Chain A
Amino acid sequence: MLTKKVKNRILFLFFIFLISLAAIIFVLKSLNKNILYFSTPTEIKQREDIPTGKAMRVGGMVKENSIIINKKNIQFIVTDFQNEILINYSGTVPNLFAEGKGVVAEGRLKDKTFFIADRILAKHDEKYMPPEIKKILENNAK
């Protein structure tokens, strides 16, 4: 027969186990709901099922002479030098956003060629290029 002390301890450990399990499930569930996939214009074009309405990131270079600004919003074209996507954004752009520079936009796809951004990501370094874009450029160069 188990003594009361041992029983209590088993109960306690079981309790801890349950709580940890619940916590882990909770964390992983929220994680899966809140990850943002990064795609390039080419990847978006090639994909069959475009996830419209789901938050994601698109990255590439801002095409030269493509920025159009009007009363309400800013439009520009992001290119990976193979395919392009039009990005519509209302808000202020971060430091170091410019034509010919790398950019990452966060938002939703309207269709395969049109993306509505809620956030344009800032970079601290003028020489900086998002690693994904660097990779794309390297691949394209091959």
Chain B
Amino acid sequence: MLSNLGSILVFLILGLSLLIIYNAFLDIKNNNQTIKKNIYNLSLFQITFTIMSFFTLLAGFIFSDFSIINVYENSHTTKPLFYKVAGSWGNHEGSLLLWINILVLFSYLFLIFNHKHNKKFRLYTLIFQNFLILGFVIFLILNSNPFSSIFPVPLEGMGLNPILQDPALAIHPPLLYIGFVGCSIYFSAAIASILSEYNGKQFALAIKSWVYISWTFQTLGIIVGSIWAYYELGWGGFWFWDPVENASLLPWFAITALMHSVMVLEKRNTLYEWVIILCLLTFILSVTGTFLVRSGILNSVHTFANDPSRGLYILLFLSLMIFTSVIIFFKERKKESYDFNLNSKETFILTNNWFMIFFLATVLIGTLYPIFLDVLTNAKISVGPPFYNIVIIPLVIPLLFLMTLGPQFGWINSKKERLYKTLYVLVGAITINLFIFYFFENYGFYVNLILITATFLVLHSVLDAKKSFKSKKKFEFSRIISHLGFGLLVFFIGVNHQHSVEIDFNLKTGQKKKLDNYEIYFENVSIEQNKNYKSVIGRFEIIELKNKNIQYLSPEIRIYTNPETLTYEAAIKTRINSDLYLTMSNVSRSDFYNIKFQNKPLMIWVWISAFIIALGGLIQFIQKKNEN
């Protein structure tokens, strides 16, 4: 039943897309300034049906309708309700439906919220957005239909992979998808802008809010993903430079560059072509990321159950997208002249873009190099984290420095007097670093530089915030928040990296392990029966030798029944100054448990500062909405 309803709805979306494209083409020829009523109506129907199709799938999962293959493969009657819901987008087919939902949602919102802009531009945007919708709906129908039915109907489902049964990972895909698929709207808008010659400042005003909102969601999605990796993978790290993570970082670099240069386009009415390129690039990279992750072409430690035919379709569609956009771009482009002063804000924003593109290129090379080498020489390689650390970390130092300096300059041209204050702040940052250096352990030259520049940015952002409150210049506020967040993030990661303790050892119950600053006592293990898993819970007593502080940690080994899987749950004690992190596993038939103990200083602050970065984007979005 649900399966049929879902399939019908999907076909309706397809039909409506075609109708919208047809009607929009007809309407472009009319010279009046209002869009015809029937286009609004068709779009309203389209969004309604799309949301309904998603709820149909959701209903399938909630009521465990195993006549739908997708539900059968990814759900189970004993699964908690929350994970039944999350299971609907925790798999390839369901997530593609979510993807289409966001495409249609953004298409509809863009249509109704942009009354002030040129009609031709809006219609072209709608047309291209619907081409994208069409492409993905066809992919859904041909290759990955979440509503495919199965007969005879199985009595029980296969269950969702236990590692995915986690609150952070349940909200991670929707966040990331709003971020990535949200980019589609200014991909379409960029092509529309070239075709309708609705360019320059007007174009910047039209896409700005969309850039801010999708940037915010991308940032949040990446943060939530890495929080999940931190506590679920039991490794204690939060960024692995794994191909799948890189795939999410690539569009982020492009969109961050775009977010900065769109301001130049708005204020100075220049860099139009570059903004267009970035608009196109951001969505192309989002789809590329999806292609790399879903096709299984990348050798990643994270996996999606993958299938080469999916890859082939996405690759074809991706090539078509790139080809079309490049042709339109070069055919219709106009010469633009650039005239920048070295001491102007726009020059610094361009510098930011250079950094972003450099990071993007680095991560792209590191991610794709193994594929090329495999094709060319058949050698199987992987690029290790040291590559990224060596190439990217040194550049963070000038980036932080310029991030502090840039905003102090005004548009077009600025006076040098304003920079004296900045010099004092730099001296302040160096002093603070000396204090840290003196009171804690000493550390390397690199770390010194990173801490100095990070402190420099943080101090200056705090001062700017004070000034911005006084003068009520609100425009600056979101920038200050995000830059502050970034400075704090680098600072905390630096300290965290420098002072982390990580020790692995094997222990039997009742045994004690003495470390430099800690004593770990493995008290006992107990067994507990839960709804869909059994867990072996260890009880550990951690004594900090310095202040005789005692902490208890209880890591678990979970044995899930559907599907049968073992997972190791880390026990994490989060405190203001540091996280205690302990994982336990037992792989063989011996009495020894395999223990990993870590002390990660300031971990909670790493997360908080990352959220501060995202907060800046949100503030910017709300301010823009209020201005309009």
Contact = CB atoms under 8 A, between A and B. Distances in A.
Interface string B363-374: 001100110000
A133 B158 CA distance: 25
B387 A30 contact: yes
Given A91-B596, A125-B303, A71 B506 contact: yes
B566 A71 contact: no
A36 B383 contact: yes
B379 A97 contact: no
Interface in A4-35: 23, 26-27, 30-31, 33-35
27 contacts: A26-B391, A30-B391, A35-B370, A36-B382, A36-B384, A38-B382, A67-B587, A69-B587, A69-B590, A70-B590, A70-B592, A71-B592, A74-B587, A91-B504, A91-B596, A93-B587, A94-B568, A95-B233, A95-B566, A96-B565, A96-B566, A97-B587, A122-B234, A124-B161, A124-B164, A126-B563, A130-B299
Contacts of A23: 358
A57 interface: yes
A128 interface: yes
Interface in B383-433: 383-384, 386-387, 390-391
B163 interface: yes
Interface in A110-132: 121-128, 130-132
A121 B506 contact: no
Contact of A93 (B299, B381, B387, B585): B585
Interface of B: 161, 163-164, 233-235, 296, 299, 301-305, 358, 361-362, 365-366, 369-370, 379-384, 386-387, 390-391, 504-506, 563-568, 583-585, 587-588, 590, 592, 594-596
Contacts of B566: 95-96, 98
Contacts of B296: 131
Contacts of A71: 505-506, 592
Nearest to B229: A122
Contacts of A124: 161, 163-164, 301-303
A95 B568 contact: yes
B235 A94 contact: yes
Given A69-B587, A74-B594, A31 B387 contact: yes
A45 to B, nearest CB: 16
Given A27-B362, A126-B565, A95 B234 contact: yes
Contact of B505 (A27, A72, A122, A123): A72
A46 interface: no
A27 B303 contact: no
Given A38-B380, A69-B588, A126-B563, 10 more contacts: A26-B391, A31-B365, A69-B590, A74-B594, A92-B568, A95-B233, A95-B568, A121-B301, A122-B234, A124-B301
A73 B384 contact: no
B336 to A, nearest CB: 15
Interface of A is mostly: loop
A132 B380 contact: yes
Contacts of B584: 92
A92 B234 contact: yes
A67 B588 contact: yes
B383 A35 contact: yes
A99 to B, nearest CB: 8
B557 to A, nearest CB: 10
Contact of A92 (B163, B365, B384, B596): B596
A70 B234 CA distance: 21
B594 A93 contact: yes
A141 interface: no
A57 B383 CA distance: 11
B233 A122 contact: yes
Nearest to A66: B588
Contacts of A35: 369-370, 381-384, 387
A67 B304 CA distance: 28
A86 interface: no
Interface of A: 23, 26-27, 30-31, 33-39, 55, 57, 67-74, 90-98, 104, 106, 121-128, 130-132
Contacts of B361: 27
Contacts of A37: 379-381
Contacts of B362: 27
Contact of A31 (B303, B383, B567, B587): B383
Contacts of A72: 505-506
A33 to B, nearest CB: 8
A90 B584 CA distance: 13
B506 A123 contact: no
A97 B588 CA distance: 10
Contacts of A26: 391
B203 to A, nearest CB: 27
Nearest to A56: B381
Nearest to B382: A36
A68 B588 contact: yes
Nearest to A19: B354
A25 B366 CA distance: 14
A118 B130 CA distance: 50
Name the 9 nearest CB pairs between A and B, nearest first. A38-B380, A34-B387, A92-B596, A91-B504, A67-B588, A30-B390, A34-B386, A35-B381, A128-B303
A13 B302 CA distance: 42
A36 B505 CA distance: 26
A27 B161 contact: no
Given A34-B387, A36-B382, A125 B161 contact: yes
Contacts of B380: 37-39, 132
A90 B504 contact: yes
A97 B504 CA distance: 17
Contacts of B370: 35
B233 to A, nearest CB: 6
A31 B369 contact: yes
A31 B350 CA distance: 27
A69 B384 contact: no
Contacts of B302: 124
Contacts of B381: 35-38
Contacts of B596: 91-92
Nearest to A68: B588
Contacts of B235: 94, 122
Contacts of A27: 361-362, 365, 391
A41 to B, nearest CB: 14
B366 A31 contact: yes
User: Which of A98, A127, A128 has the largest number of chain B CB atoms within 10 A?
Assistant: A128
A55 B233 contact: no
A73 B507 CA distance: 11
Given A35-B382, A68-B588, A130-B299, A95 B595 contact: no
A107 to B, nearest CB: 12
Contacts of B588: 67-69, 74
A106 B235 CA distance: 14
B603 to A, nearest CB: 18
The winner among A74, A91, A124 for most chain B CB atoms within 10 A is A124
A88 to B, nearest CB: 13
